[in-house]
Amino acid sequence: MTGASLRPLKVLRFFAALAAFFSLTQAVNAADVFPSKPIKIIVTAAPGGTTDISSRALSDILGKELGQSVIIENKAGGAGIIGIQALLAAPADGYTMAMGNIGPNAINYSLYKNLPYKMEDMEPITIVIANPNVLVVNPDFPAKTVAELVALAKANPGKYSFASSGRGQSIHMSGELLKLQAGIDIIHVPYKGAGPALADLLGGQVNMMVDNLPSSMAYIKAGKLRALAVTSKNRVAELPDVPTMIQSGFPNFEVTAWFGLFVPAGTPKPVIDRLYVAVKKALETPEIKQRWKDLGGWAVGDTPANTKLFIAAEKKKWELVAQQAKIEAE
């Protein structure tokens, strides 16, 4: 091949390299100036639940770390599906995140045949808070222990109901675990978030709920709800008199709920890294550490790569639970 015939090939290679250079430069520059406007966190649940509480607690401190205001927008309903769809409809530029959780980001994959998204559609920033669930009842409910609740439910099959923040959330699946392991017949009543579910529990429209501890903690301390057991391996320091489900006679009943920030797939890695560093710093502040402790939870803050591996493992775990509880996909 002659030098003349090689010349166009060299020119093409030069322009390809130049395009790659400018693409990389643009990505780096985008990260350098990011963020240059307010950031939005889509909350995949109604106000009043842990997804919402953790988002609002984090937003001000995260805004200070990023030098921009962080706006909260609730997109409740559909077991978190509506909120995730809103995230994926946004540009993949880091200016829209979603506070997801164990439900829409792990459990839903085994409960919905035609889920309008897949794991690969999102990139995790990090898990911001993890906590046990807690079995709570209305104070007028006669049971004061898990054993008494199980005895009542067995004596009255189909009479009692348990609320959840929506089908597929850890609150729902914890209730299904209770049904499965205790061998009781209680009716599932799903809501569009923990807030509305708690309102009906407080009002006596439903009898019980295996809620995320942060959203029930204030009601427990105020005596408006009675806590029968927590789903952690050990007792919670803030509720020292409340036994675990393991201590209550269910050795295989251990559930940890988690809540984390996600962005659409395709978000530039430098932007993801910038968000992660800011969130990590926010989680390490004394204000957030104390807030999470008061709620009975703890900060996680692992890297995006490790978070992705953790979520994949959670997806497999809850697939097995759904199979054991014989919950059919819709």
In angstroms, the CA 213 to CA 292 distance is: 11
Better-predicted residue by pLDDT, 29 or 165: 165
Which pLDDT value is given to residue 18? 55
Confidence of residue 327 (pLDDT cuts 50, 70, 90): confident
Which pLDDT value is given to residue 52? 94
Better-predicted residue by pLDDT, 306 or 33: 306
Answer whether CATH 3.30.470.20 is correct for domain 132-230.
no
What the block records as the tokens of 106 is: 């792990």
Please compute the mean of the pLDDT values over residues 48-77 and round it to a whole number.
95
Percent of the residues in the chain that have a pLDDT greater than 70, as a whole number: 90
Which pLDDT value is given to residue 155? 98
pLDDT single digits (tens) 115-146: 999 999 999 999 999 999 999 999 999 999 99
Which pLDDT value is given to residue 2? 52
Confidence of residue 113 (pLDDT cuts 50, 70, 90): confident
In angstroms, the CA 29 to CA 51 distance is: 33
Q: Checking DSSP bridges between strand 39-43 and strand 70-74, what pairing results, if any?
A: parallel
Which pLDDT value is given to residue 188? 95
Burial class (CB in 10 A: 0-12, 13-18, 19+), 5: exposed
Provide the CATH number for the domain formed by 32-128+258-324 in this structure.
3.40.190.150
Confidence of residue 6 (pLDDT cuts 50, 70, 90): very low
Range in 1-5, 78-82, 232-236 with the lowest mean pLDDT: 1-5
3: Cβ contacts below 8 Å, ≥ 6 apart: none
Q: For the whole model, what pTM was predicted? A: 0.82
Contact 202, 224 (CB under 8 A): yes
Query: What residue type is 221 in one-letter code?
Result: K
What the block records as the tokens of 20 is: 């790659």
Do the domains 132-230 and 32-128+258-324 match in fold?
A: yes
Contact 67, 99 (CB under 8 A): no
163: Cβ contacts below 8 Å, ≥ 6 apart: 171, 189, 190, 191, 197, 198, 200, 201, 206, 208, 209
Contact 300, 126 (CB under 8 A): yes
Q: Is residue 210 over pLDDT 80?
A: yes
Q: Where are the domains of the chain?
A: 32-128+258-324, 132-230
Which pLDDT value is given to residue 325? 79
Provide the b/e sequence for 280-291 (b: ≥16 CB within 10 Å): bbbbebeebeeb
Q: How far is CA 278 from the centre of its chain?
A: 19
Radius of gyration of the chain, Cα coordinates, nearest whole angstrom: 23
**3-class DSSP assignment, residue 237:** coil
pLDDT single digits (tens) 159-204: 999 999 888 888 999 999 999 999 999 999 999 888 999 999 999 9
